[in-house]
Every structure is written in structure tokens, then in C-alpha cells.
Homo-oligomer: A and B are copies of this chain.
Amino acid sequence: MGMDYSKIDRWILAEDSFDPVHLGKCEAVMSLGNGYLGLRSATEEKYLGETRNLLINGTFDLFDSSEVTELPNAADVTAMELWIDGERFSLDQGGYAGYSRELNIHTGELTRQVEWTSPGGSRVGLSFRRMVSLKRLHDIAMEVTVICLDRPVTVKLRSGIDARVTNTGTQHFTEGEKRFYEKKYIQLLETTLQSDITFVLNAVHRFALNGVPLELETDVNIDRRVIYADYTVELKPGDAFTAEKYANVSTTRDLDCAGLSVPQLQARTLEALKASADLGYQALAEESAAQWRLEVWEKAPIEISGDKNSRMDLFALRFAQYHMRLMLPRHDNRMNIGAKGLSGEGYKGHCFWDTEIFLLPYYMFTDPEAARKLEEYRYLSLPGAHKKAQDNGYQGAMFPWESAWLDDGETCPLYMGTDILTGTPIKVWSGIIEQHITADVAFGAWQYATIAGDQDFLERYGYELIMDTATFWASRLEPGEDGRYHINDVVGPDEYHEHVNDNAFTNYMACWNLNKAIAYHDHLKTADPALFQRLDEKLSLSQVYPKWVDGAARLYLPQPTAEGILPMDDRFMDGEEIDLSKYKNQEFVAGIMKDYNLDQIQRLQVCKQADCLVLFYLLEDQFPPEVKRASWAYYEARTVHDSSLSLSTHSVQAADMGELEMAYDLFRRASMIDLGPYMGTSDAGIHAASFGGVWQCVIYGFGGVRMLNGKLRIQPNLPCGWDRLDFTLMWKGQRLRVSAAKDSLTVENLTKTAPVFVTLNGVETEL
């Protein structure tokens, strides 16, 4: 009972019984969207404890100076409440049979079927369909069918637009105009408090009885922050009543509405609504499904064949692709990807290093245009990075740990959670001292440009980004008594250890960043003097370059112990060891925080997530295999995987080491983070980065794909249960088809407009 995986071969994730206690699970993992908007899949009928989210990417708003900016929860259009003979349809009352809720990830449609018997004994068949168009980015369409199964029933439908929703109590909107047009078209406006973005929402209903269009009297209601209509219809046994609801949402921040006044936007969106409603639900659904094929399934096809488990593995991968499309703002480079995508309020829609380190690989290798937009966003948000550097007494670009709208700068909250000892909120240091993000951004830009072969990007954005971040690092280094530079008082990727010195990940990545800037500098000076001069004027290269060189040369890089273990920082290995078995297998995360407060955890040999291991992964050729192996064994034993980013990193590393069983086990655990049967962990939204991690487990880990020093390498290590793995990759504008079997590897260049050099199982090959 609960999640139902029996239909995965038909691309369907299902739920076979309704769980009113864990509404958040399916709301999040079955959410719909298109990168412009994300629609959490709260049901048509309301339940206590539901979270009804409609999030529009990039529409950040700050409620008050005591908060941080976040994606505001727009007015709800999904509620369609039914009363059957005066009794409110709700699955926790009366009885029901034949329940199934299905998300079809191939088409992006959500459906639900149930036969409901009201407490008073009226029996109806109900089916629901719902979609967010991938073609018309503003459009949501729904369909509800009520079939009278027994005695005649009176059906009342209440449906409209409800702007009483909040972000867990915070209201980001002032109330705007609410109107019925022609007693039929419903329009509601609302405007964000600080960012002054006006949202225009429209909705209209169409009805049919037994397939014949039906006009129903509209009982209109406008109240505070809400506008809706009541419709009533009498059904005889066998009658099927269908109510379609078409809705759209647009904002004054939308690129495709640029320059429109609010009244123009009102008129245009109302016209668009009429057009969609005239097209009808079915046609809209087919149009959107075609777009899914075009944009995702044909662009980035993946096939796995093998044992029974491999079917689930394949579905998990496609499920990851589904969600990675939902969260992707393909339409606009002024926004990025939130840590929960657009599937919940968690992390407030902010983007983290998750984008570059976990998600970017998928987009770079399958949809480079979209990947470029994500990195353009970083470039466009340089003003915020400069501001953060200045505020902290540094130079260059210091990227925010949490990033929202372009000029917001750092948006990491200052406090979160409760200290179990003192009863006070826990200070979040990441916004101040989790500084590796700046190198991660530079690394991402370089990765994208290299894999896409996008020289234009480099020239417009990439060089500058990498140099400007190097300048930050040069200003950040602290001379030590040993004559070396150190980076003290930071948080590394492992956030259970704050205020550490010389975090290996941070220092190595900073060093990489400096060296990459130096290399580009030296290259451009002769190769492109005009560009060099432009960059020099902007970044004062003559002043900062010597600092980069000095910094890179003297930066202290932690070295492996005699046992081959790379020290994560200057104190971890001196910490107390405790038995972690209790925490390693908990269904919920951060269980250790219930027993120890953060001050205590600091002194334990406990990792929230991989730290050195991410480093080995990103800079894999800088560390010898024996160091990786010894470090892996040491750290994995001490890692509670309290970050959704952790498992996939470990899996890829294990695959690289040839530990395929372990790699597969870790992959499977990673793939179940949102997809799995645990009901409580996706409440605040899906784990965006973990989907990128799942793709990396498969393509990087088992597929053995890697870009190393600008070169493509493919060296598959299929897990035992898999016979074949087929996928495509974009490499410098060429589309490659990769077919990996246990004993064979075929790579074909489908584009063939340029030669591709690739190292296949150690053999340099030209395609």
C-alpha cells in the first residue's frame, strides 16, 4: 500500500492507496511543471496538512528584513471541490475503492481514479486529469469527471482562484483586482510586496454531460483574496458529468510579457486562456506530450536492459530526467534551479552548488543550450557576487552560497532548526563561510564551455567569470607562519564541521580556480589581445594576475597521510569516533541532530556527506588511485549521508574503483531518495541535485563517461544485473550515440559535422 511501481514499464509512477498523513510525498514527487512554473500535485479536494504550491521561477520576493527572499506561493488554481448530495468529497470520509493516482512521466500528465461512497451512501465514480503544458508555459489544464453509479445525485462544484495561500504563513502578495468577465472568466491579480511583480491568473470552466457541452449557471463569489464560482448539476444513474478547468498564470517579470502594462497583460492572458479552452483538454495534452518527446525523450534517450531490477533503474533515471525538465528554466537566463526545483517551498527556491556540481553534467551532455543559460545566470549575477566580496572585505567575485534573483547577493538564512541543548535556533554559517561555491561556479562554467565547445560563451562570460573568481580567492588567502597560504575558518561540503581550516575540497578547488585563470590569462594575452585588453580593463588583470600566480604557488594543499587518507581539514581526523550504525540507516535525515548538538558533532568523526570524495571526483586525475581508495574506505564508514548529494558521489567513486556491487547498491539508494517508498522525506519538495546524481551514477559511474582536461573519456563499468546501457551525449556540438554492453562499446557520431576525439576504454579514437 502506498507507492506502486507496477506500471513503470509504461513510464508511470502510481500510488495505490490514499495516505492522508503523508500528503507531501505525492504532492512533490508527482508534481508537474515546465521550468517556468512548478505545480505541486495537491489534490482537487482539500486536506488538512496539504501544501498547495504554484511557484513561478525567478519571482523572488522578500517579505521582511527578518527573512530571506524566496519564491512566493502564487494563488492556487487547482482546488476543485465537489459536494455529492451535499457531502464534501474527501477520501478520509465515507468509503472508496479502485483508487489509483498515476503520474505519466512520458506525457507529463497526472490522473486519478476512484469510486467513492459518501458517508450518506451516494456512490460516484471520479476521475481526474491534470497537466501543465510544456508547450504553453503559462498553461494549466484540469478535467474532472463524475459518474453517477447508483441513485441520482446532485453534484456541486466549487472552483476558482484562491490567493489565501502563503509560504508557511508568510504572505508575499498584496491583493489585486478580482473580476468575473462575462460571468465566466475568472481573473485575479496579486503583486509581490518588495519585488513588485504582478501576477495575473485566469481560469475558466467548460462542462459536458455525457459528452455533450453543457451550460451551467454560475454562482459567483468574490471575497478577500479569493474568487470562485459554484456550479450545480443533477445526475441520473449512468450520467457522466465532466468539468474542465483551464488556467494560466503570467507575471510582469516574464520575458515574454516584457513591456506590457498590467491592463495589457490582463487582456492578453485572458485571450490566451480563451484560445486554450477552445482547443480543449485533450488537444492541449497531446500538444504537451509531443513537446515532452521532442525536448526530452528524443533529445536524451536512455535505455537499460538487464535483469528485473534494471527496469526500475531505467525508470528511476527517466524519473530523474522528468524532474530535471520540470525544474529547468530553459526560457530565461535570469533564473536558475532551486534545491527543490519548483516542487516545494524548501530552500525557498534558492540555487546552490547543486547546479554546477550535480545538475549541470546532465544538461551539458544533453541540452547544452539550456546548460549555457544556467551559467549565463551566474555571469548575470556577478553584481551580487561583487557585493558579497566587498561586504566581506574581499575582492573579485564571491558567489553567494544561496542565490536567488540576479542582484540579491547572498540569500542564505541566518538561522535554521533548533539546538537540542539550548533550545535556541541554530546559526547557519554557510552563507558566510561555505566559500567553495565560488570555485564550483568557475568549475561549472569551464566544464560547460569545454564540453559544449562553446567559445562564444567563454569569450562573453566564461573567461571573465573564471578570472573574477580567481581574484576573490587571491584576496581570500591568509599567509601562515609556515610561509604558505591557508584558507581558515570555512565550512566545506561536509556541513557538520564548521569553522575548519584548510578544508581539502576548498583549498584544492581554489587552487584549480587560480590556475585556470592563470592559464586563460596566459593564453589570451597572445591568442586574443583584443579580448585580453577588454578583460584587463574590466578586471585590472595586471594588478590581480601576480596575486593569482603567488596564490596558486603558495596555497597549502593538504597531503595524504601515510595510510593514504587525505585529511578533510585540519581537525577531523583528531575527532572522537562513535558508532554510526543508528544514523546510517534512518529513514529521515539528520537523526544525529536529535542526540548531539552541532557543537558536539564538530568534535566527532562524523560526515554529513562526501567531502574529499567530491574532490576526487571533480579533480580525479590529481589524486592517485590508492589515495582515493584508502580515503573512500575511511570516509564512507564515517558518513551518515545526511545530504541527498552524498550517495551518488560515493557511487560514482565506487564504480571508478571497480567496486561495482557497492556502486550499484549506492546508486539504488540514491535513486530511491524521492522515488522510493519513504513517505516523509520529500515534503518540502524533491531533491533536485539527487536527480543529477542519479544520472551521474549511470552515465559517469556505470557509463564511465568523463571529461578530463578537456577530453572525453568513455569507459563503461556496467553493474552485474545490466546487459546493455544505451544513451546519447552532446560533445562539442556533435551528438554521440553510446551503446555499452558487458563486453562491447559502440559510440557513433550522429551529427558528423565535425570529428570527435574520444578515449574509448583507454583507446584514443576519432569519430
Contacts and interface: CB of A to CB of B under 8 A. Distances in A.
A170 B166 CA distance: 8
Contacts of A221: 418
A171 B166 contact: yes
A163 B166 CA distance: 12
B171 A222 contact: no
Contacts of A176: 66
B423 A169 contact: no
A93 B48 CA distance: 13
Interface size bucket, A side? 35 or more
A169 B179 contact: no
A64 B226 CA distance: 17
A166 B164 contact: yes
A64 B63 CA distance: 12
Interface in A565-596: 594
Contacts of A182: 423
A49 to B, nearest CB: 8
Chain A interface helix/strand/loop/mixed = loop
A92 interface: yes
A425 interface: yes
B418 A169 contact: no
Interface string A440-459: 00000000000000000000
A298 interface: no
Given A174-B66, A193-B64, A418 B92 contact: no
A64 B174 contact: yes
A183 interface: yes
A67 interface: yes
A170 B171 contact: yes
Contacts of A423: 179-183, 220
A166 B168 contact: no
Interface in A355-408: none
B169 A222 contact: no
A46 B20 CA distance: 14
Given A220-B420, A222-B425, A423-B179, A165 B174 contact: no
A224 interface: yes
B418 A220 contact: yes
A423 B270 CA distance: 15
Nearest to A221: B418
Contacts of A417: 222-223
A638 interface: no
A559 interface: no
A418 B174 contact: no
Contacts of A222: 417-418, 425
Interface string A173-200: 0111011111100000000010000000
A47 interface: yes
A21 interface: yes
A722 to B, nearest CB: 40
Contacts of A46: 48
Interface in A142-184: 163-166, 168-171, 174-176, 178-183
Contacts of A594: 219
Nearest to A75: B169
A293 to B, nearest CB: 39
Interface centre among A48, A92, A182, by most chain B C-beta atoms within 10 angstroms, is: A48
A170 B225 contact: yes
Given A183-B423, A424-B179, A169 B174 contact: no
Nearest to A86: B21
A626 to B, nearest CB: 45
Contacts of A171: 63, 166, 169-171
A701 to B, nearest CB: 36
A88 interface: yes
Interface string A258-294: 0000000000000000000000000000000000000
Contact of A166 (B67, B93, B169, B226): B169
A177 to B, nearest CB: 8
A347 to B, nearest CB: 12
Contacts of A424: 179-180
A473 B66 CA distance: 47
Contacts of A220: 418, 420, 423
Contacts of A88: 21
A63 B93 CA distance: 38
A103 to B, nearest CB: 25
Contacts of A64: 174-175, 193
A226 B63 CA distance: 17
Contacts of A165: 169
A225 B168 contact: yes
Contacts of A178: 425
A166 B168 CA distance: 10
A167 to B, nearest CB: 8
A171 B66 CA distance: 14
B175 A66 contact: yes
A184 to B, nearest CB: 9
A164 B174 contact: no
Contacts of A166: 164, 166, 169, 171
Interface in A530-579: none
Nearest to A93: B92
A87 to B, nearest CB: 9
Contacts of A21: 88
A168 B21 CA distance: 25
A193 B63 CA distance: 10
Contacts of A193: 64
Contacts of A180: 418, 423-424
Contacts of A164: 166, 168-169
A649 to B, nearest CB: 29
A706 to B, nearest CB: 41
Nearest to A227: B418
A175 B47 contact: no
A93 B91 CA distance: 10
Contacts of A226: 168-169
6 contacts: A67-B175, A92-B93, A163-B169, A168-B224, A170-B175, A183-B423
Q: Nearest 8 pairs between A and B by C-beta?
A: A180-B423, A164-B169, A222-B418, A171-B171, A169-B225, A64-B174, A168-B224, A66-B174
Given A64-B193, A169-B171, 5 more contacts: A64-B175, A66-B176, A67-B174, A92-B93, A166-B166
